Every structure is written in structure tokens, then in C-alpha cells.
């Protein structure tokens, strides 16, 4: 994921800025998120980037699988999205 997209997420932004100061590789790992949940988070960040400046209001609904809702809610609370 591009750094500018990742920095939309407060958790990722803090971790990436810390890595930039330390001079390490720009890699953020969070092993407690299941792959499908992380994929939705990344998709949402891309969605948010794409439509954040849409002034005419034609923003489509961001659809998620209701069965993943609880896990996704926990992830977004942790990531402060």
C-alpha cells in the first residue's frame, strides 16, 4: 500500500512516522488482523482516498460482508478509523 494511503489511518501513520525517524524499513505489521479483515481495511483506505474530494456527492456505498462486521468493527476501533 502506498504510504500516503496508509497515513490516512492514525495507527499506520504513527507507526510509519516512527520508522521514518528511526531510519528503518517502512513496514507496519499487525498480526492480530485476519487477512480478509486487513484486505477490507486497505480497500476502505483506497476508497476513502478516491472519494474524499468528491464534491458532487456521487459517492457509492462501501459494501462489506455482514458476517465480517464484528471483526471489522474491532479492527477499525483499534486502528482509529
Sign of CA dihedral 68, 71, 76, 77: positive
User: What confidence category does residue 64 fall into, taking pLDDT thresholds of 50, 70 and 90?
Assistant: very high
Q: Which pLDDT belongs to residue 24?
A: 59
CATH classification at residue 57 = 3.30.710.10
Domain that holds residue 20: 3-79
Q: Count up the domains in the chain and report the number.
A: 1
pLDDT digits (tens, 9 = 90+) for 12-33: 888 888 776 566 566 666 667 7
Number of H helices, E strands in the chain: 4, 0
Helix or strand or coil: residue 27? coil
Amino acid at each position: 500500500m502506498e504510504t500516503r494511503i496508509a497515513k490516512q489511518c492514525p495507527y499506520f501513520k504513527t507507526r510509519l512516522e516512527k520508522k521514518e525517524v528511526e531510519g528503518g524499513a517502512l513496514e507496519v505489521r499487525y498480526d492480530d488482523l485476519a487477512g480478509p479483515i486487513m484486505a477490507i481495511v486497505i480497500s476502505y483506505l483506497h476508497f476513502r482516498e478516491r472519494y474524499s474530494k468528491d464534491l458532487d456527492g456521487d459517492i457509492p456505498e462501501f459494501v462489506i460482508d455482514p458476517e465480517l462486521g464484528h471483526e471489522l468493527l474491532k479492527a477499525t476501533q483499534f486502528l482509529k478509523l
